[in-house]
Structure 1
């Protein structure tokens, strides 16, 4: 073969290699732009509770020791190691998903990532010391493990299972969503057959079992207790209080039951947050340690006494949670608990933390949400159109399965978080960017539908789904 024919091949390979490196360097940096602009990792109201787990040696409600250990390992770098891990994990799972859907060129990968960075909460989640970035990524990793696991390498499968286990162990709601997806896959398997491989389901459930073992081991290592992370009962009680169910129960039963809250039934706070985290009678009565048994008793008996009201409140909370998708809840200049934890246990970082833009109220989330909220709501609407069109045409391909997975994840996340904790923008924002991601994948396919490149991509994507 002559030189003029053979020489372009290595040149093309060099261009592809250079492009891949550009993706690997540029995308993580863009994902961390909010943190770079802030000059310190973004903090949230709950961050301090996770940071303290290493130092305090006991379990507290809704604060995973697994995530606490993860943060502790990055303390010496002022948590930039943690942010680096989050950015690289995000890029890895995004590009792996895109690759499996036939989107392989660096330019396309950068375009999809840039669209997510500019229009969704994704870079703010990646730049924050909080479990939320792992919630959405875990949905994608579980989908790949279960549905696409036979189309990736053994090393990739193992790493994805490990990532899924870690992500599920960082927050009980994330574990609940992933477990719900596995249950839905089991129910759908008789209809979908080989599109949901039995081996994939086994791998997914194995990863979730590993997450349970991981959390129990971390709890035991830090506290000496082989116990689950506490707090679920108290959070559920708070939601019932917010809906007025607790006040009704107290009014109906205080004449016959000696409950600690009876003297306060006319002065209960209006919201769960005010009751659990504000200056309420909850503090006077001993907080979780003094109130756990009573809150559990009231929550359980209120379920039996008012089933219709509970069902109506649960449906309303789920629907409301689906529309609560604004970026930045709890990420402002007023996070006193997190400040106190850093001042107590990480005094060397106080100056850097106090100098950050966030602590000077310089982040304008209302302006950011003028873009993020319409994109999020529009993406959810388009997601339902994509899935509805596939069901109407009975064309359940790989994109339809991903759309169904994300739809179920959004509904499951809204049900778990909205019903137990009450609707909050934070819970919606951490998951809704997945809808935008699916819409971007669909847009790439539709754009290429009649082109030779698009036909080649579709042939090389997974034929077995």
Structure 2
């Protein structure tokens, strides 16, 4: 009796600390915001915040995400961070459970490693769409393969979450759409590994996300239209590669483009052209230049196909290597500060008191760890997938690895080719690769432990003399 009691007490004590750590994870996941004293802001945050107030559409600024931020204003946006933190942990534990790897200690250990070694806590602590890019990939995957391993409530929650993630950013929607297309193409080869019902539900989230975005655009601007800006961003990338200058040089003698007088003065980067003090402002920004930029983008594709293809491949390759944490999250974000001062004056005092606004946020030391971890994780993920395919092991973890590899490539193509390589586009997706690699390591360790337990039993059995 005493032995049994002692065993129960030891078991209870052994489960106490993992459970306590699991309860602390939501706070640890947004620890950067607590340290900062305010949710982290980014250069683009102001454009999303302003959508509720300004009543018109701005290129690449989702009204769905703007509405999401607006409903968190009364809490100083802490409710938004709570949603981001809890959604992240929900998807991490659900992924582990669906793949048969869920244990409290393992969940805590993987979550802590992600918090300590990846961009995840910084993404969760920031008022930006980036956190939903990686989470959208996980939720889409779980919709497809979850089947009988998820409840009706979980399926409905995954559907709504994936649709919302798709509506927060066109690049995220593009990546999720590409994954759905890849899933349907692979279905004849993989059969029941990719259930038709799951693929159908995942595909419908893209439709729902598009409808969500257009409905929000109509509610705020009165227009049933898509968020503008695709041509302008692509134009900036082509200008950065020298294609626009070549096109203007070839065509300005015959065609009167607004940019012809400036063809020898174009900025060196897309960011300087679109967001700095350039002729883009003089010529009316997107409203005044959208038609001309769209014309040049389309016709330069026809005029220089080989150049465009080479530039696109280079941009995609460079984007895969751009994974540093914190781009656009330093102290110099005057547009976002101005939007808060203009439309949310109650938030000015706490916003101004935060460390970020005093230039106390520096990612140089953080990226000494984050960049190697991200690059090593992506390389290890590819190696794991290649080994699994060579051994013809097509379990759910292999499918998840393939999904994340495709998501990384799709994200690099869409963002690198259209917008040009940026660290924030890579960092928002790379942590998912680390998550999958950690799951693969956890499964390997679990298999080794099981083998170690079984082998002594076999040895004892083989050494027992026959009667």
- Max Rg structure: 2
Matched-pair contact (CA < 8 Å) for 2:19–2:104: no
Q: Residues 283 and 447 (structure 1 numbering): CA distance in 2 closer, same or farther, change over 3 Å?
A: same
CA distance in 2, matches of 1:317, 1:345: 37
Aligned to 2:98: 100
Cα drift, residue 450 of structure 1 = 3.1
Q: Residues 311 and 61 (structure 1 numbering): CA distance in 2 closer, same or farther, change over 3 Å?
A: same
**Aligned to 1:297, which of 295, 300, 305?**
295
Does 2:257 align with 1:259? Answer: yes
Matched-pair contact (CA < 8 Å) for 1:314–1:418: yes
Aligned to 1:307: 305
Q: Residues 289 and 447 (structure 1 numbering): CA distance in 2 closer, same or farther, change over 3 Å?
A: same
Matched-pair contact (CA < 8 Å) for 1:327–1:429: yes
Aligned to 1:144: 142
Structure 1 counterpart SS, 2:122:
helix
Does 2:244 align with 1:246? Answer: yes
Q: Residues 194 and 226 (structure 1 numbering): CA distance in 2 closer, same or farther, change over 3 Å?
A: same
Q: Residues 70 and 24 (structure 1 numbering): CA distance in 2 closer, same or farther, change over 3 Å?
A: farther
Matched-pair contact (CA < 8 Å) for 2:22–2:104: no
TM-score normalised by the chain length of structure 2: 0.94
Aligned to 2:72: 74
Matched-pair contact (CA < 8 Å) for 2:217–2:226: yes
CA distance in 2, matches of 1:114, 1:39: 22
CA distance in 1, matches of 2:18, 2:98: 16
Matched-pair contact (CA < 8 Å) for 1:181–1:405: yes
Cα drift, residue 22 of structure 1 = 2.9
Cα drift, residue 3 of structure 1 = 11
Structure 2 counterpart SS, 1:44:
coil
State which drifts further: 346-355 or 165-174: 346-355
Cα drift, residue 205 of structure 1 = 0.7
**Aligned to 1:183, which of 181, 184, 209?**
181
Structure 1 counterpart SS, 2:59:
coil
**Aligned to 2:342, which of 341, 344, 347?**
344
Aligned to 2:88: 90
CA distance in 1, matches of 2:201, 2:5: 44
Aligned to 1:401: 399
CA distance in 2, matches of 1:48, 1:128: 12
CA distance in 2, matches of 1:367, 1:104: 33
Matched-pair contact (CA < 8 Å) for 1:23–1:106: no
Matched-pair contact (CA < 8 Å) for 2:331–2:358: yes
Q: Root-mean-square deviation (CA), in Å?
A: 2.0
CA distance in 2, matches of 1:10, 1:228: 60
Report matched runs for 1:18-167 at 5 Å.
22-167=20-165
Matched-pair contact (CA < 8 Å) for 1:19–1:106: no
CA distance in 2, matches of 1:91, 1:414: 25
Cα drift, residue 207 of structure 1 = 1.1
Aligned to 2:450: 452
Matched-pair contact (CA < 8 Å) for 2:18–2:108: no
CA distance in 1, matches of 2:93, 2:21: 10
Aligned to 2:368: 370
Cα drift, residue 354 of structure 1 = 1.1
Aligned to 1:360: 358
How many residues are matched? 454
Matched-pair contact (CA < 8 Å) for 1:449–1:455: no
Task: Mark the runs of 5 or more structure 2 residues left unpaired by the alignment.
Answer: 455-467
CA distance in 2, matches of 1:194, 1:9: 43
Does 2:218 align with 1:203? Answer: no
CA distance in 2, matches of 1:325, 1:455: 41
Does 2:384 align with 1:386? Answer: yes
What does the per-residue CA deviation read over 1:51-94, in whole Å, with 9 as the maximum and x for residues that have no partner? 00000011000000000000000000000000000000001000
Cα drift, residue 6 of structure 1 = 10
Does 2:441 align with 1:443? Answer: yes
Cα drift, residue 206 of structure 1 = 1.0
State which drifts further: 445-454 or 87-96: 445-454
Aligned to 1:231: 229
Structure 1 counterpart SS, 2:386:
helix
Aligned to 1:279: 277
Matched-pair contact (CA < 8 Å) for 1:448–1:454: no
CA distance in 2, matches of 1:243, 1:306: 12
Aligned to 1:329: 327
Aligned to 1:218: 216
Cα drift, residue 27 of structure 1 = 0.8
